[in-house]
Amino acid sequence: MTAPKSTPKSTPKSTPKIAPTRHAEPIVVPVALAERAYDIVIGRGLIGSLGARIKTLRPGAKVAIVTDETVAKHHLAACEAALKSAGIESSAIVVPPGEGSKDFTTFATVCEAIIAARIERGDIVVALGGGVIGDLAGFAAASARRGLDFVQVPTSLLAQVDSSVGGKTGINSRHGKNLVGAFHQPILVIADTALLDTLPKREFRAGYAEVAKYGLLGDAAFFTWLEANWQEVFAGAPAREHAIAVCCRGKAAIVARDERETGERALLNLGHTFGHALEAGAGFSQRLLHGEAVALGTALAFEFSARKGLIGADVAARARAHLAAAGLPTHLKDVPGGVPGIDALMDLIAQDKKVKRGKLTFILVRGIGQAFIENDVDPAQVRAFLAGQLSG
């Protein structure tokens, strides 16, 4: 059954034509989830306030910091210093970087390390890293001692605008991405935009795919603003904080209405059905980063919508052109080493979390900012579409 044709209420329609000035105080975006409500705090230099904020929320708590080797080199010392200055005892759990750490082996290692550090109920797990660490540490926090509070300190653009918010945690299966996990909301998200200064350019570009996604799925005005200001977002100007805040407000609003993705929240998966399949097909490797897969998947979702007569070819071309201008892959031929064949891709798409009783579900569009949920998509249509894309 196709969702109603009205434009989804996914993000607020309040985006200026020019880049804003920097806020003197951090931007605070509340996530309204009753007793599980928390704040997303956005601004430069916020990691120094981590200890004080945790002490206010959970006086007397100890902390286990979960991070990866790359992030640890840049930010672990600052995180530990902030906790120490507030009188908070902490221990660090450092795992290898990359998507490969979202597996059962590393998950078990992190859980065992949390328990060995004598982190008790009432203590805190801090996820210091990008989306991989946030998902892994959050799932470990949901599982160790049957549930611990955790705080997200996202260090990548992708994590600051998307994966750190909303409580989705998990690891990958050999059958596909994020197929094992739990909904477990953080008690605080600190999005320190200064941490993005150390991010490699490729990682930042990959994260930008999720920024553009918010405009493409539900906020045409924000997408238009991004077309005019995306270079300012990349440059680290106040536009960056503005864009992060718009994305967080949009996601917070959707999560508050549909915490466990029984309906509207699935819109946030625009580009992810194709994207996750392509990412898995690339072996969750450096050949195709998650954000790059989302960009490519989003371009394919718009192209598939055009193929189904939902939008004109010009609309699909506009979305693709913006992603390509930002340096993101938008064609299957852009994936180094190529992509799997039709049968392998269809098998991976069939493992998508939105599949219900074997029926495929896609997030499609009726225009820029007009995403909707299309259930029971004919696999033959998808196969024919992908065959055309693969043939160039």
Q: What's 134's domain CATH number?
A: 3.40.50.1970
pLDDT (tens digit per residue) in 151-182: 999 999 999 999 999 999 999 998 888 999 99
Looking at the fold, whether 217 and 288 belong to one and the same domain comes out as: no
Calculate mean pLDDT across residues 70-97: 98
In one-letter notation, the amino acid at residue 273 is T
Options 178, 269, 279, 292, the catalytic residue:
269
361: in domain: yes
Options 80, 203, 210, 374, the catalytic residue:
210
Q: Residue 118 phi/psi, 5° resolution?
A: 60, 40
Options 203, 261, 279, 292, the catalytic residue:
261
Looking at the fold, whether 307 and 363 belong to one and the same domain comes out as: yes
Structural contact between residues 91 and 61, judged by C-beta atoms closer than 8 angstroms: no
In the residue annotation, 272 being an active-site residue is answered as: yes
In the residue annotation, 261 being an active-site residue is answered as: yes
In the residue annotation, 44 being an active-site residue is answered as: no
* Domain total of the chain: 2
Query: Does residue 113 carry a pLDDT above 50?
Result: yes
CATH code, domain carrying 325: 1.20.1090.10
Looking at the fold, whether 249 and 221 belong to one and the same domain comes out as: yes
Q: Residue 27 phi/psi, 5° resolution?
A: -85, 130
Query: Does residue 322 carry a pLDDT above 80?
Result: yes
Looking at the fold, whether 177 and 249 belong to one and the same domain comes out as: yes
Looking at the fold, whether 170 and 91 belong to one and the same domain comes out as: yes
Rg (CA), the chain: 20
108: in domain: yes
Using the CB atoms, write b or e for 256-265: b if 16+ within 10 Å.
bebbebeebb
Of the chain, the percentage scoring pLDDT greater than 70 comes to: 94
For residue 234, the surrounding DSSP H or E stretch is helix 220-235
Options 205, 276, 320, 322, the catalytic residue:
276
Looking at the fold, whether 119 and 214 belong to one and the same domain comes out as: yes
Looking at the fold, whether 311 and 182 belong to one and the same domain comes out as: no
- Domain hosting 34: range is 1-260
Q: How many CA atoms lie within 13 A of 3 on its CB side?
A: 20
CA dihedral (83, 85, 90, 95) positive or negative: positive
Q: What is the pLDDT of residue 14?
A: 46
Options 265, 320, 322, 353, the catalytic residue:
265
265: in domain: no
333: in domain: yes
In the residue annotation, 292 being an active-site residue is answered as: no
Looking at the fold, whether 247 and 274 belong to one and the same domain comes out as: no
Q: What is the pTM of this model?
A: 0.90
pLDDT (tens digit per residue) in 253-287: 999 999 999 999 999 999 999 999 999 999 989 99
pLDDT (tens digit per residue) in 347-356: 999 988 777 7
